[in-house]
Amino acid sequence: MSKIILTGDRPTGKLHVGHYVGSLKRRVELQNSGEFDEIYIMIADAQALTDNADNPEKVRQNIIEVALDYLSCGLDPAKSTLFIQSQIPELTELSFYYMNLVTVSRLQRNPTVKSEIQMRGFQASIPVGFFTYPISQAADITAFKATTVPVGEDQLPMLEQCKEIVHKFNSVYGETLVDPAVLLPDNKACLRLPGIDGKAKMSKSLGNCIYLSDTPEDVKKKIMSMFTDPNHLRVQDPGQVEGNPVFIYLDAFCRDEHFERYCPDYSCLQEMKDHYSRGGLGDVKVKKFLNQVIQEELEPIRNRRKEFEKDIPEVYRILREGSKKAEAAAAKTLSEVKQAMKIDYFNDAALIAEQSKKYQ
């Protein structure tokens, strides 16, 4: 069986370092591993509209931002198909048929939907489209026969629900859809990077993000203002490492070689953490080190972005070509689905013969 990746992001803002360590970096590694037959990376604009119906301009503006973030991280259109969800009508058609296989109470139990409803204050006024987006996400994944879906931890409930739809479909209509495997980051700190304010999640609406496209000065300012252990008032005080965002970021970003380059007092992160816990290590020193580590990671991304920004029509061309290719793949799956569901009337010579016999 082919090894196929599908994943994507909603274009509701620029991508940040949480997206990067949670999924983007891994995608680029997977792309370059050469182990996959096909890689589809989707800008999920239709999904973004499920809770931004009154703000299509926001979605429209952010398509290019996300595409630039993808390309600058190293996703290569020669190896990965980058495309826009709304340009693939087959995805909507698949969603409509999958809706028959999912109950309202199952959707209500989806933990991500549940917490997003709370966060957005939707309660009973939840748009039907938003409520059913896990089904549309199952269409995204299955349309490309994805075997591997690299995502952040918050997407786990979507994958579970997708697998249920696959099983249900295959048991009712016969083996048709591919059961996808989720791929989470193996570094625990990367699963969910907190915001610079220490809040559980980096999110645009909380204003606590470091963006991939931030200038070096902005990144530095944000890191130097980061929330740390609030009880670590004087340098000599023992500090807390667990749950301290500065150390969580170091867990996510730093490698031993960074110490040689930027902070030779220590040989590895554990030594630095031990010193912080004992007392005698100030937050400013740790933050300066973190800044150097993150700047090193972001610099090539920033430079590639500048290059792509010079030719925006080319970026749209990449998306258009990718969407064309993606549509062909989705159309093939849709026709298999329709055949399995017995709604391929005009291709079914046996059906036509049988019906004519009945009326002879």
Q: Which residues bind ligand TRP (CB under 6 A)?
A: 6-10, 44, 47, 137, 140-141, 149, 151, 155
Query: Smaller CB distance to ligand TRP: residue 24 or 252?
Result: 24
When computed from its CA atoms, the radius of gyration of the chain, rounded to whole angstroms, is 23
Please, what is the minimum distance in Å from the beta carbon of residue 307 to ligand TRP?
26
Contact in structure between 144 and 326 (CB atoms under 8 Å): yes
Query: Smaller CB distance to ligand TRP: residue 43 or 290?
Result: 43
Share of the chain residues as helix, strand and coil, in percent rounded to the nearest 5 = 60, 5, 30
User: What is the per-residue DSSP string for 123-139?
Assistant: GGG--HHHHTHHHHHHH
Query: Smaller CB distance to ligand TRP: residue 140 or 283?
Result: 140
Please, what is the minimum distance in Å from the beta carbon of residue 27 to ligand TRP?
11
Residue 188 is encoded by which pair of tokens?
A: 């625990």
Please, what is the minimum distance in Å from the beta carbon of residue 128 to ligand TRP?
17
Please, what is the minimum distance in Å from the beta carbon of residue 245 to ligand TRP?
22
Residue 216 is encoded by which pair of tokens?
A: 């070096």
Angle between helix 156-173 and 111-119 (nearest 10): 130
Please, what is the minimum distance in Å from the beta carbon of residue 10 to ligand TRP?
5
Query: Smaller CB distance to ligand TRP: residue 15 or 241?
Result: 15
Query: Smaller CB distance to ligand TRP: residue 147 or 155?
Result: 155
**Angstrom distance (rounded) from CA 95 to CA 86:** 13
Angle between helix 312-340 and 283-309 (nearest 10): 90
Angle between helix 25-33 and 56-73 (nearest 10): 50
**Angstrom distance (rounded) from CA 357 to CA 351:** 10
**Angstrom distance (rounded) from CA 294 to CA 245:** 14
Please, what is the minimum distance in Å from the beta carbon of residue 47 to ligand TRP?
5
User: Which of helix, strand or coil describes residue 86?
Assistant: helix
Q: Using CB positions, name the residue nearest to ligand TRP.
A: 44
Query: Smaller CB distance to ligand TRP: residue 167 or 261?
Result: 167
Contact in structure between 143 and 333 (CB atoms under 8 Å): yes
Please, what is the minimum distance in Å from the beta carbon of residue 261 to ligand TRP?
34
Query: Smaller CB distance to ligand TRP: residue 110 or 155?
Result: 155
